[in-house]
Amino acid sequence: MSDADARATAPESSRATRLRLQVFTPTETLVDEPVRKLIAEAANGAFCLLPRHIDCVAELVPGILSYLDTNAVERFVAVDVGTLVKADDRVRIATWNAVVGDDLERLGETVAESFLTLEQHEQAARSALGRLEAGTLRGVADTRLAETRFAETEETR
């Protein structure tokens, strides 16, 4: 049965009271469950999504996403930059890095450690890339200089 068929046959009351939240990283699906409410943060501020909310797309900034599950228990997901797409009753979030947790304080500590380690790796990669680019440019400059000298020696012969 397709998603459209399932939505069409679901009772109106269940469709009106929940969303389907999915949080993806490049390597795994961290969250895939029905929720009652979702609060996230974009560049222009925090926002709340409820069932029957208008469809939208938002660019998420690093922060804590909170949601109420179907038992009205508040849960948290720390997300790095990402994209949120709300279409029909589904909310899909794609992010490079995320951490799921129920204890907000511990989650904050975990995020600081995880994202800080990631930033250090990114800085090292950028530094290596910069050295590679500089070496390539030096090689091009050396080749041009050698070509110029060769051309000058050919003209004098």
Model confidence band, residue 38 (pLDDT cutoffs 50, 70, 90): very high
The overall pTM is greater than 0.75 = no
Q: What is the average pLDDT across 70-94? A: 93
What are the residue boundaries of the structural domains of the chain, listed by start? 3-102, 103-157
Classify the C-alpha dihedral 18-26-96-75 as positive or negative: positive
pLDDT computed for residue 25 by the predictor: 93
d(CA 10, CA 42): 32
* CATH value of 3-102 in 2.60.15.10, 2.60.40.420, 2.20.28.160, 3.40.50.2300: 2.60.15.10
Q: What is the average pLDDT across 92-111? A: 84
Q: What is the average pLDDT across 65-83? A: 92
Say yes or no to pLDDT of 46 above 90: yes
